[in-house]
Every structure is written in C-alpha cells, then in structure tokens.
Structure 1
Amino acid sequence: MSKLPAPAADGFCAQAWEHTAQLRKAIVEHPFNTGLADGTLDREVFAFYIVQDARYLVGFAQALAAAATRAGNAEDAAFLSGAAQGALVEERRLHAGYVTEFGLTDEEIAGIGTSPSCLAYTSYLRACALTESYPVLLAAVLPCFWVYQHVGSAILESTGDTSGHPYRAWIETYADDAFAEAVLTARELTDRAAATADAETRQQMLEAYIRATEYEWMFWNSAWIKEEWPTAAFLG
C-alpha cells in the first residue's frame, strides 16, 4: 500500500480535504466501515451495499464519461473515460464475485430496491454532468475516488494482514497502489481545473465536493440500516 502525497498546500484539494476532515473521520468510524474492518459486518448488510453500489456505479460512470467529453486535452480525456470504463467493468467484477459468494439470485437482487440515498447520490452526479461546469463536475466525482481510497487504506492499516479476512477483496481493491495512483491523477486534474477557475467557480467546486462527501456518508449509512423508502407502505 502506498500513501498518497499531501495535496498542494495552496491547491483546491487541500482546501476541500481540510474542510471535510470531521466528515471524513465520521465515515471511517461509521459502524459499517468499522465492521468491514474487523470482519464482523453482517453479510446481509454487505450484500445490500454491493447491490446499491453496482447501481450507483452506473451513474458515476456516466458522470465521468460526461467529464471526459469536456476535458481540455487527450490525456485527461483518456483518464476520465478509462475511469468510467473501470467503474463499469473492474469494480463491478468485484461485486459479481461477492454476489456469487453470497449466493444471491437475479430475483433476489431485483427484489432489493434502490435506496433513497443511492438514488439521490446518482441523481446528483447526473445533474452535475448535465448542468454544472467542467471544474464543478470534477469536484463532484472526486470524493468517490478519494474517500474510498482513504477508507480502504485506513482499514488496511488497522487490520494489517488481510489473509482470511471475509472482505479481503474489497479492502485490497481500494487500498491498492494502482487505485492510489488513479486517485492522485484525479486530484491533480481537479487542482489544475481549479487553478484557472474564478473565485465563484472555486466556491461552487467546494460546495460540490462537500455535498458528494456527504452523500458518501449517507451511502454507507443507508447500507448499514438497509434503507427503504418510508413511503413504501402506502404503495401496496
């Protein structure tokens, strides 16, 4: 596992990272993630999370693909389009492995409704892709990279040896050196976009980053409680 270098002290990412310090701490210390770390997380809770995450990744990939079309150079466009493909292929392969391990049938998966928090988060990213500027869209998708890498690394650091761990594949995916490199690239890309943005756009970027990080906490919490629509009882 490699530790990411600190963001540039005067860059956007440093400001966003510092601004969300308490929220980031709350994410790492959430019961879902502490249970994930020590292996005690209920398998049904994790299965619910996996189903929601697979659905979320579709919206995330669409937002990344939209960002790729607005990139100012071929290198940035290639990174963003590659990340979109990775969200749909590589990470969903991880999900498929857990679905098989847990013995979930297609009928059981279809029977798990999309949670309010999952729909809200994906809708937010899609809305950013449609209505916000390129720098703001980059800030909105960054937490899914950065927060996951932070959580995965924190869990790996706390557990040490993951051999025999029931959630080893998940931990090693997000604490992996290759994923850390992707996070660093996403940070650098966002910092560059912010460096040429005006003050109003930078403020919008910060707001988007904060909101997406809030959705990260809500997403894990929704899995922890296996969140359902409170109106379901009124719809038969």
Structure 2
Amino acid sequence: MTVTFTAGPLTTQLWDRVGPIVKQIEELPFLAQLADGSLDPKAFVNYISQDSLYLNGYAKAMSFLAAKTVDRDESRFWAGSAAEAITVEEEMHAELLADARLASALEELTAEGSRFKASPTTLGYVSFLVANAASRSYGEGVASVLPCFWVYAHMGKVLVDRAGQMADDHPYRTWVQTYDSPDFDESTRHAVQILEQELAKAPSEEAARMRAAFEQACVYELHFWASAHAMQNWDVSVFLPQEVTV
C-alpha cells in the first residue's frame, strides 16, 4: 500500500518534482541488497558510521531551526527531533554494531581510520544543512532538513515491502524496521506540514529557493547512500590518469 506524507497542494507538487530523484534512490543496488540481506557487511558498517557523523550535523541544523522559529510548538518539535537524532540513532547503531556478523567489518574500518572521518559526500551534505539552517530563511532551513525525514520514511515503506517477512537473523532487520514506524511517520508528517505552511506564506522568490533547497537535499540523499556503498573516501588517485600496462 502506498503511503503519502504530503500535507497539501504545495508539498504534493514538491514531492512530484523530486519523483525522478526518489526513483533513482529506490533503484540503488545498496537498498536492494539491504532488503534481501545480501549487502556486504563492510558497506553497511561504512554506511552507519557515516550516518553517525552526519547525524551530529543534522541535529545541529535542527537546533538552529528551533532557535529561529517564533512558533513555540515548532521550536519544541525541532529541538526534540535534534535530541532524538542523537539518542535513538546512536542506540540503534550500537545495537547493530554489536552483531557478531558486523564486528569484523567494524574492526577493519576502524583500523583504516574510515569510521571516524566524514566522506566528501557526508561533509558536503552536513555543511549544506547547517549553512542553510543557520544563515538562510527559516523556510529554506526547513526545506533543507525535510528530505532526511521524508525520503527515509518513504524508503522505510519500500524496504519493508521488498524485504517481506524478514527472518529474525536478517542482518539489517533492525535498521529497516526502525524507519518504518508510526512514531517516525508522525514526525515526518509534522515536518511536512511545517513546510506546507512556510511555502504557502513565502514570497515567490523565497518559495523558489525553498523548492531548490529541498531538491538539492534529495540529491544529497541519493549520493549519501550511493557513496557509502562505493566506500567513498578522500583518495585523490581516482582523479589521476591510470598507468596503462602492455
């Protein structure tokens, strides 16, 4: 069953606008392998390690929104979401990384130093979110952080549908089920409703910037999953000509 999180005509148009990006996310091999449990443990540990780094910046961005809005309910929502991004996610990551099947992958990444360094995509995404939340309008900040709610909530439904009845020993069962939860859905709907309201009252030029920020963040969502699967790092050799041997 298709679940929609739109809150009115403006967010409906916005979700339709990013439909091609969402479709690309749905088709990522990372997510297909995550659903069927075949994903390389090292790629998954790399993903959740990058996610932990990302969430620190994401929480900071929402804290800026909590301070910027004049609406007390919205301020409480963003502040609560910032706190939850740190506590709930860290608990889930700790539980996943305690799985014996992921322990060797974690040890390998830690030895390489990859676990504690943000990839170029992670750093870019976090910088984009914090800069917009801190220095742009409240509406642009909301539009920037919303895809992390909305795309994840959507993909939670997609993943659960693909995974079907996951066995208790499915290595990624906890992660998949966490993002398909009534509480997360409710938070997503609340965030979408805030954006609908901000779009409705924004002057046309600001509304255009909000739509552009939302679309850019959706592209970052696509790149975030893809770059984690590719084990993206700061190695410059990928940009240099390769020697040809005969």
Q: Given the alignment, which residue of 96, 105, 126 partners 2:130?
A: 126
1:55 paired residue number = 53
Deviations 1:183-214 (A, max 9, x none): 00000011111111110110000000000000
Q: Give yes or no for the alignment of 1:222 onto 2:227.
A: yes
Q: CA deviation at 1:182?
A: 0.5
Partner of 1:152: 156
Identity of aligned residues (%): 34
Distance 1:46 1:136, change over 3 A: same
User: For 2:157 and 2:16, how far apart are their aligned partners in 1?
Assistant: 18
For this pair of structures, how many residues does the alignment match? Answer: 232
The answer for the alignment partner of 2:177 in structure 1 is 172
Q: Which runs of 5+ in 1 are unaligned?
A: none
Residue 7 of structure 1, CA deviation:
3.5
2:65 aligns with: 67
CA deviation after TM superposition for structure 1 residue 121, in Å: 0.4
Could you give the per-residue CA deviations for residues 19-53 of structure 1, whole angstroms, max 9, x where no partner exists? 11011011011011111111111100000001100
TM-score by length of 1: 0.92
Q: Aligned-pair RMSD on alpha carbons?
A: 2.1
Q: Find the counterpart in structure 2 of residue 142 from structure 1.
A: 146
Residue pair 2:5, 2:188 contacting (<8 A) in 1 also: no
Give TM-score, length-normalised by structure 2: 0.89
SS at match of 1:141: helix
> Distance between the aligned counterparts of 1:31 and 1:127, measured in 2?
31
Mapped contact 1:64–1:141 kept (Cα < 8 A): yes
Aligned 8 A contact 2:133 2:142 in 1: no
Between the aligned partners of 1:17 and 1:23, the Cα distance in structure 2 is 10
Residues 1-236 of structure 1 aligned to structure 2 (within 5 Å): 3-8=3-8, 10-11=9-10, 13-101=11-99, 102-103=102-103, 104=106, 108=110, 111-112=113-114, 113-164=117-168, 165-231=170-236
Can you give the 5+ residue segments of structure 2 that lack an aligned partner in the other structure?
Answer: 240-246
